[in-house]
Amino acid sequence: MARKNAPNHGSLNQVRGRYYYKATLPGTAQRKTYPLIAAGQAASTTDKRLAIALANEMWERAEATAALEDSGLKYDGSLSALQELFLAAHEKDIAEKDADVRKKELRFYRASINSLIEFLKTVPFSLTTYELKPNRILLWRKYLNAEKGICRTTINKKVNVIKQMINYAVTRELEPAHLSYSVDTIKAIKKGEGNFKDYSEVCPVEWVVVEKIFPYLSEMVCDMLLIMRYTGARPGEVRLMRPCDIDMTDPQGWVFQVSKHKTRRHGITRNIVIGVNAQPIVSKYLIRSRDSYCFPPQNQNGNMGLHYTSGSFSKVITRAIKAYNADHLKAPVRFTANQLRHAFATQVCLEYGLEVTRCAMGHVTTQMTKRYARTALEAEQLKNAKQAAKKFG
């Protein structure tokens, strides 16, 4: 149990009313005297209770740093050093994710932390983890919105990365626990709060719009878009389709069990039903070894890749849209492949309702389904309102 009138280790010295800590800190060989300076102060504190707390924190941080150095890792208290330790640990945590997803997530995490560090340099604020106060993160958050034009949801994600990093430091005893409590007081920005920007919601795209860019795409990519249209699959799910993942027992509906998907780590199985419209398209790409990918990309040299990545597939679509728009300046098109999933959800919801749509989309609850099928739900609400007005209005 900690002593109330003295530090847990070492001793307090008072010089001209100010407190100093005399101890042989872990990782050091000599007994030294250290000033007990609170955050935001220029000189040692005159408050004995605060001095004891600061001395204990100094010992704990030195102890954690010494233990970390014994394990081969180094932490000097800076945000940059913490960043490297945190990203190395996070990379191990997401090892089961798809390589492309892992790379993208780690890139976002590093960019988020670097953005905070660069902002603290310009203000300027201290770059030590211990002095990272909530108000500094709030100022950074406003800067991202006002100066960088980043939308609300992305800012929330970036702040969550910082919270994760601080919690990592606290759980490894690199920093005191109160630091985690303080940053956890920062709440996510809600929609409509302040002047934070919001991106427009993803809307379904009409198939006639998608068909316009087909002359600018390879047959394989056109077929991949057709499969998305008929199944509601995500682009990443189609990209990683393999013959061994498809159960063709029932001719009315083949079952594609996705081996790698975003909710796999939660123990959820993702099954996609391939109906009679999509089966002839998929069949063209099943004449290959069972464990190879159905849609290997081919570069300009004729070399075949393993499978499309999220970046390469997106670039193919974007390039085709740009080529089409260059030839049709008066009627340009703009969409992403993921909008086909929204279009599928809207169509199923109009025909069969929300619960069937939830099953077709692979959602655990209808809350997420409502986001995808919002157009259909709004149309249904308007239809019901008109019926009520016709009878009672």
**CATH tag, 213-334:** 1.10.443.10
Which residues, other chains included, contact 7 with Cβ-Cβ below 8 Å and sequence gap of 6+?
21, 23, 52, 55, 56, 59
Total Cβ atoms within 10 A of residue 47:
13
What are the phi and psi torsion angles at 180 (to 5°)? -65, -40
Contact by Cβ (8 Å): 165, 83: yes
- The verdict on whether omega for the bond into residue 124 sits within 30 degrees of 0, i.e. cis, is yes
Confidence (pLDDT) at 2: 44
- In DSSP notation, 340-374 reads HHHHHHHHHHHHH-HHHHHHHHT-SSHHHHHHHTH
Residue spans of the chain under pLDDT 70: 1-4, 40, 67-73, 200-201, 260-268, 299-304, 393
Q: Where are the domains of the chain?
A: 11-70, 79-183, 213-334, 338-393
CA 148/CA 139 separation, integer angstroms: 13
Give residue 262's pLDDT.
Answer: 58
Among 227, 229, 219, 284, which residue's Cα sits nearest to residue 256? Answer: 227
Q: What are the pLDDT digits (tens) for 241-264? A: 999 999 999 999 999 988 765 555
Which pLDDT score, from 0 to 100, does residue 383 have? 74
Contact 10, 59 (CB under 8 A): yes
Secondary structure element (H or E) that encloses residue 302, with its range? none
Q: What are phi and psi of 12, to 5 degrees?
A: -95, 140
Query: What fold does the segment set 79-183 form as a domain?
Result: DNA polymerase; domain 1 (1.10.150)
